[in-house]
Structure 1
Amino acid sequence: MGGLPAERMGWLGESRSRSVICFRHAMSIDRRQFLDACTAVGLSGLFPGALYAQVAEQEDDAPITTEHVAAAESIAGLSLTGEERELLVENLNENLEQYEAMRAQDLPNARAPATTFDPRRGGAELPEVPPSADGAEVPLPPIDRPSSNEELAFASISELAHLLRARKVTSVELTELALQRLRRYDDRLHAVISYTEERALAAARRADDELDAGTWRGPLHGVPYGAKDLLAVQGTKTTWGAEPYKTQTIDETATVIERLDDAGAVLVAKLSLGALAWGDVWYDATTKNPWNLDQGSSGSSAGPAAAVSAGCVPFAIGSETLGSIVSPSTRCGVTGHRPTFGAVGRGGAMALSWTMDKLGPIARSALDCAHVYDAIRGADPKDPASVDVPFPFDAERSAVSLRVGYLQEAFEGDYDNQSADQKTLDVLRGLGVDLEPVSWDVDVPVGALLNTLDVEAAAAFDELTRTDGVDELVRQGENTWPNVFRTARFVPAVEHVQMDRLRVDLMERAHAVMQDLDVLVSPSFGGGTLGITNLTGHPCVCLPNALRPVEEGPDARRQPGSISFVAPLYRDQHALTLAHAVQQATDIHRRRPPIQ
């Protein structure tokens, strides 16, 4: 649902997928052996084109033989004797029949596995908070209506909430402004897949009627927003950004959209995502970075980040599986909040990885993210992994009261955002925060565990792969879904179970690091934080902290950078509190891209 930013293979570095390595090893053996191996793992009809034709020319109904087993041994990490291969053959042929019986069953994308991932396996517990303390405490700043629509377009949620409640602006005005700006800039941004104008204007009129009558649902009441187009909305297309699904409609509305409806927010558009939640390339275009229109916005929450950055919507709902909120938020210079796994229900959302998918807000500030998270959090009957999580967020809380660690080694050396990250550490020290140097110290092969995403994504879209529907995806080649889905078919089932078991080790070690902290500060793409915390389910707030010039001259384009604050499980408020404190002392998050 929010799997991979466009740069996945680049910033994972040494954590390249073991399954890719296995696949390449398989390709180094004799082609006949490779085709035999395909048959042995049930892939004789998988590959398109010439390769499929060559497999089909073999005896299609021939059973698995000892030769097939011998060819597949290298992938399974085995070395068998001839007698052992003979013993295997009958069982393997029986298994093939069973696999075919399973493939004949209808397994929609929404069907979750019987096993449910629980991040508490690492040792964390749900916090106990008195009901009276649950919920965000955020005062609304008394402001006058801005003098121009341009100023209004970049107002914060708190400011808009005051203006709406004081009836200095109407929801219809804000909704029409958002629609106008989206249409004005989308020929450059390519951030919109479909508009929900009729639904939006009806919701805005309803919000105005309620506000006129003195009914106030909260700070999102009457505020327009956009949603990543992997969230179902009844009566609209839900394309998942992919050619095979570009006319798809789903007869339900995602839980997170229903909760925003209940909060009075106004959905104005379904925003772009890289096809099937990878990158910023969807079936019709590449979504662009408002700070540099020659550059993609990264992804996969490409449209949400671009639209918020350009002042088209005050906030948007994105998703992350392995960087898909953090990466586009960094690229587009906005604030992203990846909540604790399970804190936001995923009913009605495209499934990519049942054990790693998270939904969360992308907005102008941590304070705005707190408003949105407060509205969308909580258990969802449609999502067995979801839980009710308290949120005792207090915008007035001092950063000094937080126990803050930082990945000292990760901030050393030379990397793109090093100077800005050091300045952020200085800001924290200036706020009176005592930074404790820490290390993840996890002796677990994180890169190997990330194969979990590949395998679960391949299962989520298995039929698309087996029917060659992946050939319709715009992106083809090495680092693309079609190749990943096929590669994942070669990950042995035993290895997949071992990934799950080692993942518990990782969760326990990460919990040991986090249990004495309220927040861990990390470079957004350094120290292994992104991969580790997406596997463990820890929440993260990514805030812009740099606008590095990429050209010379007064009108030079600038490249945003970011830093990440990670909190213990179910303590999202700590990361948001620290991010809010930093943003009160700095102004990077208030800068506007030069898209005009």
Structure 2
Amino acid sequence: MSIDRRQFLDACSAVGLSGLFPGALYAQVSEENDEPSITTDHVAAAASIAGLTLTDEERELLVENLNENLEQFESMREQELPNSRAPATMFDPRRGGAVIPEGEASDEGAEVSLPSVDRPSADEDLAFASIPELAHLLRARKVTSVELTELALRRLRHYDDRLHAVISYTEDRALEAARRADTELDAGTWRGPLHGVPYGAKDLLAVQGTQTTWGAEPFKDQTIDKTATVVERLDEAGAVLVAKLSLGALAWGDVWYDATTKNPWNLDQGSSGSSAGPAAAVSAGCVPFAIGSETLGSIVSPSTRCGVTGHRPTFGTVGRGGAMALSWTMDKLGPIARSALDCAHVYDAIRGADPDDPASVDVPFPFDAERSAASLRVGYLQEAFGEDYDNQTADQNTLDVLRGLGVDLEPVSWEVDVPVGALLNTLDVEAAAAFDELTRSGGIDEMVRQGENTWPNVFRTARFVPAVEHVQMDRLRGVLMEQAHAVMQDLDVLVSPSFGGGTLGITNLTGHPCVCLPNALRPVEDGPDARRQPGSISFVAPLYRDQTALTLAHAVQQETDIHRRRPPIQ
């Protein structure tokens, strides 16, 4: 049976021959045989890397099976598997021991209290108004949704030559939705605090009638004939989608096919990612909120870089129908806004089970903005805060704010004894499966970023992760979930450095929710005096109790003003 180079590499991958120099090995095979096949010599050379000790007889049997399996693998590849097709197995964070709290999920939501404010005299002030403030102005008819929508579109266009945060505008859709919102509000119909409020969506969310590029050159002309569930829910809430915002190509970083999205606090710096456009647009006052996604830091990192508040919800509490799949067991959709209170209102509108996402669930959300921070059981990663890192002073100041609010900070540690770094290979393998056809067709060669630490290389490398090791990752992940639950079950919130203590990796694997709030604006050397480097701190809540992290973050933001500062955009 003759095999080509791709079949050869796939065969090596099937038995876990990772770490090989596959190009050179294939070349050797080709020189030895006009119709190359895997031989016992090749298996013997790779056995030690695969962690196997084989007899001559075992190598013979293995070679025979490998060559026979190639036809079976090829028959699978002939089956169409769109990105939206999820695996039969599903990730359930409750396997670690958590349960969904009792309550009517559809009825028990955030309490809404709108401040009585006057319309600002300057559009700049209106652009940075909070969601509750905008809701009051809209409901009192002191401003119209069309005005807010046109303001958002103007600001996006004005700043985008510097920020590169917009992939496409949805102006016609937006103005139609804004006019509809104004008609309803004029008639006394109020859908809630998002009614008439403009927003942006990360361009991995499908919206019918628009391009959905996933930020990547191979998909820049892609259209998907459906609208993502999260966008539909925001439509129902009366929110107005004004733009599809940038993401690092296939949800990595801030480099997309046309540009690098910039940090409004320092235009010499990228906005981080992969929710690059959402964070930059919110920070610059172009939209009050945006929808981002996180698999491993893609809300926390750009929110930190751009000085805004990000909420990564509990895994499964926001339906992912119509969203690009990167990792079926780790992807989460959530809001990026200027405050925790704004995030709470957005989360309340988008949460809930989704028929197009089998991993999604209904949960209650009894968020109370007036709840005392002192009533919460709060732990903090004492050892992590004691390390030397860039944002240490600001983080210590935040801990002091918590103590001033009457919070009794209990020192805790994750007490994790599994190799978290190894388990994060789960993301690489699932992403490689999600974009398998792109890899095998050579489409990844069209992506802007190439090299060692990029998707093309990761996708290829993941083909050589042994299937057995992938299953072992999953089994050890169950252990990690149990250990994390043991720490979180006696707490309402755990406070951590955003990038310290192993928290980011652990909680993205376990599915725990996180609220990342800005707490620093450090001066930047060698630049205009107004430039700053934002920093953040993270509040983690038990599974399905997002409201406690949002409550504590809101309490801190009531005592501080970092989240209200405006970037220089220079």
Q: TM-score by structure 1 length?
A: 0.91
Find the counterpart in structure 2 of residue 280 from structure 1. 254
Find the counterpart in structure 2 of residue 218 from structure 1. 192
In the alignment, structure 1 residue 375 sits paired with structure 2 residue 357: no
SS at the partner of 1:373?
helix
**CA–CA distance in structure 2, aligned partners of residues 567 and 264 of structure 1:** 29
Q: Is the Cα contact below 8 Å between 2:14 and 2:467 reproduced in 1?
A: no
Q: Is the Cα contact below 8 Å between 1:133 and 1:392 reproduced in 2?
A: no
Find the counterpart in structure 2 of residue 306 from structure 1. 280
Decide which of 40, 50, 60 is 2:12's aligned counterpart: 40
Q: Is the Cα contact below 8 Å between 2:524 and 2:533 reproduced in 1?
A: yes
Structure 1 465/402 Cα, relative in aligned 2: closer, same or farther at 3 Å? same
**CA–CA distance in structure 2, aligned partners of residues 95 and 200 of structure 1:** 52
Deviation at 1:359, TM superposition (A): 0.1
In the alignment, structure 1 residue 477 sits paired with structure 2 residue 457: no
Find the counterpart in structure 2 of residue 528 from structure 1. 502
Structure 1 446/52 Cα, relative in aligned 2: closer, same or farther at 3 Å? same
Q: Is the Cα contact below 8 Å between 2:105 and 2:363 reproduced in 1?
A: no
Q: Is the Cα contact below 8 Å between 1:428 and 1:582 reproduced in 2?
A: yes
CA offsets, 1:156-187, max 9 Å, x none? 00000000000000000000000000000000
**CA–CA distance in structure 2, aligned partners of residues 266 and 141 of structure 1:** 22
Q: Is the Cα contact below 8 Å between 1:539 and 1:567 reproduced in 2?
A: yes
**CA–CA distance in structure 1, aligned partners of residues 26 and 422 of structure 2:** 33
Decide which of 125, 135, 160 is 1:161's aligned counterpart: 135
Q: Is the Cα contact below 8 Å between 2:14 and 2:466 reproduced in 1?
A: no
Find the counterpart in structure 1 of residue 560 from structure 2. 586
Which residue identity is paired with 2:412?
V
Matches within 5 A, 1:96-107: 96-107=70-81
**CA–CA distance in structure 1, aligned partners of residues 219 and 92 of structure 2:** 31
**CA–CA distance in structure 2, aligned partners of residues 50 and 117 of structure 1:** 35
Structure 1 91/157 Cα, relative in aligned 2: closer, same or farther at 3 Å? same
Which residue identity is paired with 1:153?
A
Matches within 5 A, 1:365-444: 365-444=339-418
**CA–CA distance in structure 2, aligned partners of residues 95 and 415 of structure 1:** 51
**CA–CA distance in structure 2, aligned partners of residues 131 and 488 of structure 1:** 39
Q: Is the Cα contact below 8 Å between 1:40 and 1:72 reproduced in 2?
A: no
**CA–CA distance in structure 1, aligned partners of residues 375 and 129 of structure 2:** 29
Matches within 5 A, 1:487-526: 487-526=461-500
Which residue identity is paired with 2:242?
V
In the alignment, structure 1 residue 352 sits paired with structure 2 residue 326: yes
Decide which of 39, 57, 65 is 1:83's aligned counterpart: 57
Structure 1 258/35 Cα, relative in aligned 2: closer, same or farther at 3 Å? closer
Deviation at 1:57, TM superposition (A): 4.9
**CA–CA distance in structure 1, aligned partners of residues 41 and 435 of structure 2:** 30
**CA–CA distance in structure 2, aligned partners of residues 552 and 300 of structure 1:** 27
Q: Is the Cα contact below 8 Å between 2:493 and 2:540 reproduced in 1?
A: yes
Matches within 5 A, 1:54-203: 54=27, 57-58=30-31, 59=33, 61-129=35-103, 134-203=108-177
Which residue identity is paired with 2:46?
A
Decide which moves more: 269-278 or 96-105. Answer: 96-105
**CA–CA distance in structure 1, aligned partners of residues 375 and 299 of structure 2:** 28
Deviation at 1:42, TM superposition (A): 6.5
**CA–CA distance in structure 2, aligned partners of residues 503 and 50 of structure 1:** 33
**CA–CA distance in structure 2, aligned partners of residues 56 and 89 of structure 1:** 13
Structure 1 178/132 Cα, relative in aligned 2: closer, same or farther at 3 Å? closer
CA offsets, 1:472-517, max 9 Å, x none? 0000001000000010011000000000000000000000000000
Deviation at 1:374, TM superposition (A): 0.1
Matches within 5 A, 1:247-258: 247-258=221-232
Which residue identity is paired with 2:543?
L
Q: Please list every run of 5 or more consecutive structure 1 residues that lacks an aligned counterpart in the other structure.
A: 1-33
Q: Is the Cα contact below 8 Å between 1:129 and 1:392 reproduced in 2?
A: no
Structure 1 131/64 Cα, relative in aligned 2: closer, same or farther at 3 Å? closer
Deviation at 1:90, TM superposition (A): 1.7
Deviation at 1:70, TM superposition (A): 1.8
**CA–CA distance in structure 2, aligned partners of residues 175 and 55 of structure 1:** 62
Deviation at 1:92, TM superposition (A): 1.5
Find the counterpart in structure 2 of residue 8 from structure 1. none
In the alignment, structure 1 residue 209 sits paired with structure 2 residue 180: no
Deviation at 1:306, TM superposition (A): 0.1
Deviation at 1:41, TM superposition (A): 2.9
Structure 1 204/443 Cα, relative in aligned 2: closer, same or farther at 3 Å? same
Q: Is the Cα contact below 8 Å between 1:242 and 1:473 reproduced in 2?
A: yes
Deviation at 1:60, TM superposition (A): 6.9
Q: Is the Cα contact below 8 Å between 1:37 and 1:69 reproduced in 2?
A: no
**CA–CA distance in structure 2, aligned partners of residues 284 and 511 of structure 1:** 42
Which residue identity is paired with 1:227?
A
**CA–CA distance in structure 1, aligned partners of residues 469 and 175 of structure 2:** 51
**CA–CA distance in structure 1, aligned partners of residues 386 and 350 of structure 2:** 37
Find the counterpart in structure 2 of residue 236 from structure 1. 210
Deviation at 1:138, TM superposition (A): 2.7
**CA–CA distance in structure 2, aligned partners of residues 158 and 55 of structure 1:** 67
Q: Is the Cα contact below 8 Å between 2:11 and 2:66 reproduced in 1?
A: no
**CA–CA distance in structure 2, aligned partners of residues 60 and 166 of structure 1:** 80
Find the counterpart in structure 1 of residue 460 from structure 2. 486
SS at the partner of 2:48?
helix
Deviation at 1:452, TM superposition (A): 0.1
Find the counterpart in structure 1 of residue 3 from structure 2. none
Which residue identity is paired with 2:291?
I
Q: Is the Cα contact below 8 Å between 2:216 and 2:256 reproduced in 1?
A: yes
Deviation at 1:413, TM superposition (A): 2.3
CA offsets, 1:562-587, max 9 Å, x none? 00000000000000000000000000
CA offsets, 1:95-149, max 9 Å, x none? 2111111111100000000000000000000000256971101310000000100
Deviation at 1:35, TM superposition (A): 11
In the alignment, structure 1 residue 467 sits paired with structure 2 residue 441: yes
Q: Is the Cα contact below 8 Å between 1:403 and 1:518 reproduced in 2?
A: yes
Which residue identity is paired with 1:101?
S
Q: Is the Cα contact below 8 Å between 1:36 and 1:68 reproduced in 2?
A: no
**CA–CA distance in structure 2, aligned partners of residues 137 and 543 of structure 1:** 21
Which residue identity is paired with 1:164?
L
Structure 1 238/56 Cα, relative in aligned 2: closer, same or farther at 3 Å? farther
Decide which of 228, 235, 242 is 1:261's aligned counterpart: 235
Q: Is the Cα contact below 8 Å between 1:110 and 1:348 reproduced in 2?
A: yes
Structure 1 374/86 Cα, relative in aligned 2: closer, same or farther at 3 Å? same
Structure 1 473/546 Cα, relative in aligned 2: closer, same or farther at 3 Å? same
Structure 1 51/87 Cα, relative in aligned 2: closer, same or farther at 3 Å? closer
Q: Is the Cα contact below 8 Å between 1:364 and 1:590 reproduced in 2?
A: yes
Find the counterpart in structure 1 of residue 518 from structure 2. 544
Deviation at 1:555, TM superposition (A): 2.3
Which residue identity is paired with 1:537?
G
SS at the partner of 1:41?
helix
SS at the partner of 1:76?
coil
Structure 1 267/77 Cα, relative in aligned 2: closer, same or farther at 3 Å? same
SS at the partner of 1:62?
coil
Find the counterpart in structure 2 of residue 452 from structure 1. 426
Deviation at 1:251, TM superposition (A): 0.3
- Aligned residues: CA RMSD: 2.2
Deviation at 1:557, TM superposition (A): 1.6
